[in-house]
Structures are given as C-alpha cells and as structure tokens.
Amino acid sequence: MVQPSELEIAGDEGYIIRSVFFDNRPVTIIAANKSKGVLYGIFHFFRLIQNRQAIDKLSIQSKPRIQKRLLNHWDNLNGSVERGYAGKSIWNWEKLPVEVDPRYKDYARVNASIGINGTVLNNVNSQAEILTKGYISKAAAIASVLRPYGIQIYFSIKFISPMEIGGLSTADPFDPHVRRWWKEKAQQIYQQIPDFGGFLVKAYSEGQPGPQIYGRTHADGANMLAEALSPYGGIVMWRSFVYDLSIDSDRTKCGYLEFVPLDGQFATNVLIQSKNGPVDFQPREPINPLFGAMPKTPIMMELQITQEYTGQSNHLVYLAPQWKEVLDSDTFSKGPGTLVAEIVDGSAENHTLSGIAGVSGIGTDRNWMGHHFSQANWYAFGRLAWDPAFTSGQIAEEWIRMTWSNDPKTIGVIAKMMAGSWEACVDYMTPLGLHHLMAAGHHYGPGPDYVNPGRADWSSTYYHKADSQGIGFDRSSKGTNGVGQYAEPLRRLWDSPVTCPEKYLLWFHHLPWTHQMSSGKTLWQELRLHYKRGVEAVGIMQKTWDSLEGRIDQQRFDHVKARLEMQLENAREWRDVCLEYFGRFAESPNSGHDR
Ligand code: GCV
C-alpha cells in the first residue's frame, strides 16, 4: 500500500495520501514518518473535502520546501500589539500560566492546518522580562497547547537582557559572564520548554540595543546566542532590518552594507531574517538585495501579514500576489533562474536550514484579523511557506471555498476581487515605484508633504523628492547607486529608465514630469492615470461585493460592505492628496508640462 521506501523522501513533515482497496473495500491511507506528517496529511485531506474535490482516487505526496515556517507576533507583554489592528494580544500574560485561554488551541489548529510550525510570541521591540522565570512558565503553558499541533515557540529577545534582568554590568558578547548568562538562560528555558525553538533578534535598529555598543558585529552577537542554544537544537533568527544613515544616506543600501561583509562568519544555527524589500513592507518594493548576496548564510524571508502599510484592517488587500512577485523574482545571483524562493528554501545555496516568517495580524477580534479578508493573508502565508510554487489564484480559491462558499458564482466573484486588490492598492497609494508617502504618526493615510523634523528618512519627501524638475529617488549609478547592490543583469536593466520596469521606475530614478512612458503618455499623465485606476478598482470591488448579497451570511456581508465603503473613501483621499501635492510641482511653470 505504502512502502517504507516511499516515505524516505517525505522527511519529518511530509506525507502520502493514497486511495487503495483493502479487503475489497475502498480506503484512504494517510502515511508519514512522524506524527506531524500525519497531522498535515489529515489537514490536506480535510481541505480536499472542504473544497469538494473527489477523494476516491487520491495519489498525493507532499512535503514542505521551507523548514522553519513561523509567525512573528509583535505582541507586547502589556497586551498591546505593535502594528496590530485586530484588538489586543491573544496572549493573556496576566492570567497565564493558570488560565489557558481555549483560543490557543484554535490558534494551534488553524496554524497547523496551513503548515505553520513555529511562532515567536513577543514583539521584536522586545522587553527583557520575557526571559524572566515567571514569563518562561507562562510561555511553557502556551507551548504545551501548541506542541501537539507541531508548533514550537520562540522568543524575541532584547540584547541587553543580561544587564536589565541579570544584574550584569555589560552585555558585551565577548564577556565570559555574559556568555555564561545566556547559556544558563537557555538551560532554564529548555528545562521548562524542551522543544523551544530559539531567539529572534532585532539589534541596533530603531532604538533596540545590539553588539555594536561594544564595538562588536552582528555576527559576534548572533554567534554568542547561537552557542547558548545549539546544545538543544535551537536557532537564532537575526534580523537585517537596520538602517543607520551614517553608513549610507540611502536607507535601502544599509542592510546590505552591514551584512554582506559578514557572510561566512555566522554559526551554523543562525539565519539572517530579511524583509522582502529593502525599505519596510511598502505596498510594492523591489526585492531586498540581500537575497542571493550572502551565499554562505541562510537568509530567512520576513513578510508582513498584518497590513501596516496596506490599509490595516480596513482595506481588502490580498497579499499573495505581492509575495509571489517577490518569491518568483530572479536574483540572478547564481546565473539566470536563481529565484528568491530558491534562496529562501535553501536549495540555491545548499543550506540545510531555511525559514520564512510572517508578521502576524492576529488579535482578540472574533474574526482574528480585524477584516474577514485579512484572514486570506494568514492562509496564503502558510500555504506559500509550505510551497512557494503555489499560485496566488489557487490559494485564493481554496480559501474562498473554505471560508465563504463552494457556489461557483460566489467563488468567481470573490476570486476576481482578491486577484486585483493588491495592484489596486499600489495604484491608489504608491504607483510607479513611489514609496513611504504616509502622513505623520501612522502608516495609514497619505502625507506626501510630511517632513520629520528628527529623521530625514522618516519623511515622505526623502523618498519621492518631487520638485519642479521631476519626481523619484535616483538610485541609479548616477545617484546613490542602490542598483549596484543587485546582480547583473538586474543592475544594468534597472539602472536605465528605459529598461527599468515601470513598476519600479520612481524607486530607482528621478525623472522629469514630461518623461515619456511606454504608453506614450508623460510621467505626470501616467501617474494620474494610476491613481485614478486604483480608485476605480475599489469602486468596482464594491459593486462586485454588492452582487453577492443573499449568497453569503448577512453579518459578514455587512462587515465587508462597510469596510469597502471606507476603503473607497480612503483611496479617494490618497488620490486627491497625492495628486494635489505632486501637481503643485508637475504643473508649475517650469516643469515643462502642460497644465
Ligand atoms: C516592530 C517598522 C514598523 C515598526 C517595526 C519595525 C520592525 O518600522 O513600523 O513598528 O517594529 O518596522 O520591523 O522592526
């Protein structure tokens, strides 16, 4: 029926599902090497049933391409969630470990059903208290609920914890007392949580301390933690989200400049966790130049499920197409066909360790994510983490069938809305490579005129550089040479406004308003068209949704309808504010453009 040799390639998490006859009766076999594989196989089988697929002639073999498939909670110990838009943190630290919310089990099941096998419980802007005895016991209670579902827990740690909670006078990674402190801490954690996953670290970034305080490098810091965790099989996920403008005045270049020279210096249980793009989860970014640039180090990709910059829990934006654009991008780092997905799954550079993380959008809201459609992003993250080759359409259809309906009209309508929703958001927020145009104090509405008095790179004007001469950030070889961080031929193609894809045009080039686009229109005309198109797309989504009234339950229908109204209003605001502001330059007497 299933030979042991067939299971060899299934590994620890893979499975085989097969229809056979046993004693003249049809049976379905779900076989795996480990219980986790059986668990995933059963969820696959359920998915087929929920998707109304035939289950009488099954011959399925599946295993995950990426080893560590994690959610990252940006949950604070006081119950708030940084960039969370769905209520409070689901981790009720006050009541733990005595009271264990039954929702943790639901959480575990949801995650296991999409193959997620790890979760970082607390914010990367970490508090040292997570490593105190009390919190370790609380976390151990969560771990015991997640364990049967194959989910390991991890902590975000604060680099100077030995000082803040350990009474040491330094956190220097070369100090023997500090090293011992971390080793003892690891031992303490593993005593209570034997399958603890490891540490996630944000170091020397946005106010978080790091080894640089002591003149040490990221590798020195990461390796110290790796040494403490390695006896237990734990890993360190060290983030590359750093942008110290004293290293380079172009923020997009900083991560590469700090990390690439360290390639080869990290311990074998360290991964470098890098955001998909070089800025910060903007509606669209070109790939992070670190993918493919550190062949000796496993690079873990960080995606953002919570919609910090894409309308939060008010906008319907299905992010799988964005993630697919990144995963399917060719880095050319080892010649043509070296896709980001192959860097991330470790196959391009022969790494045994591989990982992907999604910044969670989960909160205490009844529907978990604030917007019913945001759940699609959680689902899509899990599915793409399992296999980056799945298409966004295929994932959307599975999710629609399981969440909304198996009625063909309903599926078709919702699938269409989802498919175009990300591009619509890019159009009404930041088309043609524009980025980071938000108003002060939040990452929601438009503020192209915003200038941060403290930091240039927290200002919108730093990114778009609009003036009467033109618009865009010149990262070409004549500008900051940000393009120089990519492999050929990307470097050459993106260096010229003629060959640079228009979706990245203003990311890499500062161009006159009269620049001619491939459509024959001027840049200013094209920009206006994109903003207009984005708003129109939301209007169409709204009408499309209305056509479903009566086909789905009223409660969820009304929820989405109300949010689409808000989305349309917000999209109009983005269009009007941005075009009014840019128009001041584009239509000024010396822009060269007709009014
Ligand atoms: C957790 C952005 C967000 C911050 C976040 C940071 C990070 O700057 O706005 O809230 O901090 O990214 O990823 O560390």
- The C-alpha atoms of residue 533 and residue 427 are separated, in whole angstroms, by 7
Atom of ligand 1 nearest to the CA of 302: 13
Which whole-number Å values give the CA distances from 356 to 131, 229, 281, 301, 526, in the listed order? 24, 20, 15, 5, 36
**563 neighbors 314 (Cβ within 8 angstroms):** yes
Among the listed residues 248, 302, 308, 526, the single catalytic one is 308
Q: How many residues does the chain have?
A: 595
pLDDT tens sequence across 172-201:
999 999 999 999 999 999 999 999 999 999
Atom of ligand 1 nearest to the CA of 123: 1
Going by C-alpha positions, the residue among 96, 110, 97 that lies closest to residue 369 is: 110
- Bridge-based pairing of strands 25-31 and 355-359 is unpaired
pTM over 0.95: yes
* Residues 134-161, mean pLDDT to the nearest whole number: 98
**578 neighbors 570 (Cβ within 8 angstroms):** no
Q: From the CB of 250, is ligand 1 less than 6 Å away?
A: no
Q: From the CB of 125, is ligand 1 less than 6 Å away?
A: yes
CA torsion 210-212-218-220 (nearest 10°) is -100
pLDDT at res. 372: 98
Residue of 75, 76, 83, 238 to test ligand 1 pocket, by largest number of atoms within 8 Å of CB: 83
Helix (H, G, I), strand (E, B) or coil at 97: coil
> Does residue 442 register a pLDDT over 90?
no
345 is catalytic: no
423 is catalytic: no
Mean pLDDT score of the chain: 97
Q: From the CB of 202, is ligand 1 less than 6 Å away?
A: yes
> Does residue 595 register a pLDDT over 70?
no
CA torsion 520-525-530-533 (nearest 10°) is -100
CA torsion 101-196-274-209 (nearest 10°) is 90
pLDDT tens sequence across 484-496:
999 999 999 999 9
* Residues 369-395, mean pLDDT to the nearest whole number: 98
pLDDT at res. 361: 96
* Residues 412-437, mean pLDDT to the nearest whole number: 98
Q: From the CB of 227, is ligand 1 less than 6 Å away?
A: no
Q: Any idea what DSSP says for residue 210?
A: -
pLDDT tens sequence across 296-340:
999 999 999 999 999 999 999 999 999 999 999 999 999 999 999
pLDDT category at 276 given cuts 50, 70, 90 is: very high
> Does residue 574 register a pLDDT over 80?
yes
Residue 314 one-letter amino acid: N
**569 neighbors 489 (Cβ within 8 angstroms):** no
Question: For residue 29, how many C-alpha atoms fall within 13 Å in the half-sphere facing its CB?
Answer: 16
User: What are 83's two structure tokens?
Assistant: 């960039």
CA of 126 to the centre of ligand 1 (A): 12
365 is catalytic: no
Q: List residues bridging with 30 in a β-sheet.
A: 17
Q: Whose CA is nearest to atom 8 of ligand 1?
A: 280
- The C-alpha atoms of residue 289 and residue 271 are separated, in whole angstroms, by 16
pLDDT tens sequence across 557-572:
999 999 999 999 999 9
Phi, psi of 70 (to 5 degrees): -115, 145
**208 neighbors 154 (Cβ within 8 angstroms):** no
Going by C-alpha positions, the residue among 300, 194, 278 that lies closest to residue 457 is: 278
Among the listed residues 206, 328, 549, 565, the single catalytic one is 206
User: What are 436's two structure tokens?
Assistant: 């980071």
- The C-alpha atoms of residue 340 and residue 193 are separated, in whole angstroms, by 34
* Residues 426-430, mean pLDDT to the nearest whole number: 98
- The C-alpha atoms of residue 480 and residue 288 are separated, in whole angstroms, by 16
Q: Is the dihedral of CA 14, 18, 23, 25 positive or negative?
A: positive
- Bridge-based pairing of strands 198-201 and 59-62 is unpaired
pLDDT at res. 267: 98
pLDDT category at 594 given cuts 50, 70, 90 is: confident
Q: Which helix (H) or strand (E) holds 303?
A: strand 299-304
CA torsion 409-412-418-423 (nearest 10°) is -130
Q: From the CB of 218, is ligand 1 less than 6 Å away?
A: no
Helix (H, G, I), strand (E, B) or coil at 134: helix
Helices 408-429, 523-546: inter-axial angle, 10-degree rounding: 150
First to last CA, the chain: 74
- The C-alpha atoms of residue 6 and residue 10 are separated, in whole angstroms, by 8
> Does residue 119 register a pLDDT over 70?
yes
Q: From the CB of 75, is ligand 1 less than 6 Å away?
A: no
**387 neighbors 403 (Cβ within 8 angstroms):** no
Burial class (CB in 10 A: 0-12, 13-18, 19+), 27: exposed
Among the listed residues 280, 302, 427, 526, the single catalytic one is 280
Which whole-number Å values give the CA distances from 560 to 157, 412, 493, 569, in the listed order? 37, 17, 41, 14
CA of 194 to the centre of ligand 1 (A): 30
Residue of 280, 301, 312 to test ligand 1 pocket, by largest number of atoms within 8 Å of CB: 280
Which whole-number Å values give the CA distances from 69 to 259, 357, 439, 454, 516, in the listed order? 23, 6, 33, 37, 44
Helix (H, G, I), strand (E, B) or coil at 352: coil
pLDDT tens sequence across 219-252:
999 999 999 999 999 999 999 999 999 999 999 9
